[in-house]
Amino acid sequence: MNVLKLSAAALVASVAFAGAASARDQVQVAGSSTVLPYAKIVAESFGETFSQFKTPVVESGGTGAGLKEFCKGVGPETIDVANASRKINEKELEACKAAGVTEIQEVKIGYDGIVFANDNSLGELKLVPSDIYKALAAKVVVDGKLVDNPNKKWSDVNPSLPSVEIAAYIPGEKHGTREVFEQKVLEAGCKETGALDVIKAAVKEKADQTKACVGVRKDGLAVDIDGDYSETLARIGANKNGIGVFGLSFYENNADKLKVATVSGIVPSAATIADGTYPVSRPLFFYVKKAHLGVIAGLKEYVNFFVSDQMIGPDSPLVEYGLVAAPDAEREEIRKSIEDGKTI
């Protein structure tokens, strides 16, 4: 019993100390699970390169959850950096302001491609946004009228596609990837197929028009995946006719199992994403609290290390993992904006 009493006392003492020793000695990062692997590589290399600082802690959980934590306030008990696979939105900015997080620096780290891939056995698919729209949208145009999507097979959409049941595994609503998928694929397809014009005639509000365009069919042929890409991969392993949405880096790591589809005739690759010819790509960001720079040990160094060419340049470990490097001039601009302390 004595040992028990002693350890209980020690624990109580350590809790009491906690309040006093609140200054943190390592950087705390949270946010997007798409940016997580990149942030991990940077954090690890940072810890190895700067032996005077501890390795930053990188939490996962999604862009929205990360920004929510980020906007909780300023001080060592809040996180320093939020990773994001999309831009911070107005609502989040307001929440940040309300909590006293007024000076936020936005840092773009590069681009990520979103690819459609299927099992090797199905062969290479040649997709265009209008075909994807016709296959996955909740409503499509038939004879000038909006009707519930009647297409059951890919060949119903476009005779050149294989005659297999449509089964698409797309990122769930909480993913940043979903937004890109909606913007770059569904909205584009909506316009191309003429559905937008029909919707415009029926709906006045512009926001409602977009909402109608990006609605995905709910009859089970398009499945929302709320987990990570590994879940999508498992779904495709179970249904060999399925098509999944992946990040470029995830596809490249599993290229022996998956076949990537071309979009509008372009094969997704680092080169076609960087020069903008592959249509479905997005920039990746992280956000830093300016008030924490110089207060939290190593934060300034971490930010500068992250945007150095050693990390995000064309021949860096992040690019090797799957990040698409921003063009030279843009990287210079990113570094300059950090130097100048530009806030949003």
Partner 1 sequence: MTNALSPADAAVISRAPARRDIGIKRRYAAERRFRAYGIAALAFGIIFLFLLLSTVVRNGYTAFQQTAIALPVEFTEKLIDPDNKRATDPSVLIAANYTAVARDAIVKALGVDAQNKADVRAANAMLSKSAPIQLRDMVVADPSLIGKTVTVSFLADAQIDSANKGQVDLTVPESNRKVSDRQIGWMQQLSASGAMAKQFNTGLFTSGNSSRPEAAGLGVALVGSLYLMLIVLVLALPIGVAASIYLEEFAPKNRLTDLIEVNINNLAAVPSIVYGLLGLAVFINFAGLPRSAPLVGGLVLTLMTLPTIIIATRAALRAVPPSIRAAALGLGASKMQMVFHHVLPLAMPGILTGTIIGLAHALGETAPLLLIGMVAFVADIPGSPMEPSTALPVQIYMWANEAERAFVERTSGAIIVLLLFLIVMNLGAILLRRRFERRW
CB of 23 to partner 1, least distance (A): 10
End-to-end C-alpha distance for the chain, whole angstroms: 58
Indicate the residue among 10 and 202 with the shorter CB distance to partner 1: 10
Cβ closest to partner 1, residue 111 vs residue 250: 250
Distance set, CA 217 to CA 137, 160, 189, 230, 246 (Å): 5, 22, 14, 23, 20
Q: 24 or 139, CB closer to partner 1?
A: 24
Nearest distance, CB of residue 91 and partner 1, angstroms: 21
Q: Is the Cβ of residue 73 or residue 215 nearer to partner 1 in the bound state? A: 73
Residue (128 or 312) nearer to partner 1, CB: 312
Host H or E run for residue 294: none
CA distance 70 to 91: 13
Smallest gap from Cβ 38 to partner 1, in A, equals 9
Least separation in angstroms between CB 202 and partner 1 = 41
The least CB distance from residue 88 to partner 1, in Å, is 20
Interacting residue ranges for partner 1, rule: CB under 8 A: 4, 7-8, 11, 14-15, 18-19, 21-22, 24, 26, 28, 30, 33, 36-37, 39-41, 43-44, 47-48, 51, 54-55, 57-61, 69, 72, 77, 79, 120, 227-230, 249-250, 253-257, 317
In angstroms, how far is CA 122 from the centroid of its own chain? Answer: 27
Residue number, 257 or 342, with CB nearest to partner 1:
257
Least separation in angstroms between CB 189 and partner 1: 28
Q: 3-state DSSP call for residue 148?
A: strand
The beta-carbon contacts of 262-271 under 8 Å, at least 24 apart in sequence, are 262/124, 262/125, 262/126, 262/127, 263/116, 263/127, 263/128, 263/129, 263/185, 264/127, 264/128, 264/129, 265/126, 265/128, 268/113, 268/115, 269/113, 270/113, 270/319, 270/322, 270/324, 270/325
